[in-house]
Amino acid sequence: MSRREGERYSRQIPLIGVEGQVKLKKSSVLVVGVGGLGSVASFYLAAAGVGRIFLLDNGIVEESNLQRQIMYTIDDIGKPKAIVAAERLKRLNPYIDIEPIQEDLTESLLSKIIRNIDVIVDCLDNWEGRMIIDRVAHRYGKPFIHAGVYGFYGQLTVIIPGKTPCLRCIFPKKPKIEESPLPIFPTTPGVLGVLEANEALKLLLGRDNLLANKLLIYDGSIGLFEVVEITMGPDCPACKEYY
Ligand SMILES: [Zn+2]
């Protein structure tokens, strides 16, 4: 770690130690989706000094993104999100590697990337993509942070293959939400994105007390946070397949 890096991280090193900082620098995180959640989660992961961050998104910045996707400005409209986000994060922290992947999420793509990844951060807005993460993460035994947002509502859990329920145990059926695009209050993905980065950093640092085997529920309309215990579903077909 250079002298300037020491200075950059001087307010967090008292909390995590130099060895914790080095651990972060040696870590790789994949952020899937650089929208509302991903803008915030990847910003904090980069700021904190995670050494290698992959940004997977095949979207283009649109005007309607800007009420919540704080990575982007009006100059970015029409540009690929992964590329713009990577440039922005490189300017935030030049001491780390940022790798944009401007492609659709598929099982084969994720299977290729996942070997070099320590933790995946699910910042998606669709169920099909999450199921791909769930399957591939379990196949390769990689942890991931799940968050989802809708309106004022948000949810988050840390999934560790073999130690926690899989996503299908928690949500056996695809949620019935018919609106498209989903209504999102601007601050909801902000709150959940920060919490995702927080759990990812704790996980990379090897800390206890993760939101694993627990589901955090947030209702911004009344300022409520609630954490409920969750367990593996005895009849979960996915878990039976994995273990
Ligand atoms: Zn399961």
State the pLDDT confidence band at 237, using cuts at 50, 70 and 90. Answer: confident
| pLDDT at 235 (0 to 100) | 80
| pLDDT at 243 (0 to 100) | 63
Ligand 1 centre from 149 Cα, in Å? 21
pLDDT for 98-127, tens place per residue? 999 999 999 999 999 999 999 999 999 999
State the pLDDT confidence band at 175, using cuts at 50, 70 and 90. Answer: confident
Q: What is residue 65's three-state secondary structure?
A: helix
Asked if the model's pLDDT at residue 4 lies above 70, the reply is yes
154: amino acid identity, one letter: G
* Tokens found for residue 60: 């283009």
| pLDDT at 93 (0 to 100) | 98
Ligand 1 centre from 153 Cα, in Å? 23
Ligand 1 centre from 232 Cα, in Å? 6
- Tell me the average pLDDT across 40-63: 98
- Tell me the average pLDDT across 181-210: 97
For 51-55, 129-133, 170-174, 190-194, which range has the lowest pLDDT when averaged over its residues? 170-174
180/194: higher pLDDT:
194
Ligand 1 centre from 158 Cα, in Å? 13
Choosing among 3.40.50.300, 3.60.15.10, 3.30.1450.10, 3.40.50.720, the CATH entry for 3-242 is 3.40.50.720
Domain boundaries, the chain: 3-242
Ligand 1 centre from 125 Cα, in Å? 21
Ligand 1 centre from 168 Cα, in Å? 5
State the pLDDT confidence band at 77, using cuts at 50, 70 and 90. Answer: very high
CA dihedral 167, 120, 147, 12 (to 10 degrees): 140
Ligand 1 centre from 217 Cα, in Å? 20
Which residues keep their CB under 5 angstroms from ion ligand 1? 166, 168-169, 236, 238-239
Share the mean pLDDT of the chain.
95
35 Cβ partners below 8 Å, 6+ apart? 57, 59, 65, 68, 69, 81, 123, 125, 189
Ligand 1 centre from 121 Cα, in Å? 19
Ligand 1 centre from 236 Cα, in Å? 5
- Are the beta carbons of 51 and 97 closer than 8 angstroms? yes
State the pLDDT confidence band at 180, using cuts at 50, 70 and 90. Answer: confident
Closest CA to 4 of 91, 89, 87, 93: 93
Ligand 1 centre from 15 Cα, in Å? 35
Ligand 1 centre from 186 Cα, in Å? 32
43 torsion bin: left (phi>0), alpha (psi -120 to 50), beta (else): alpha
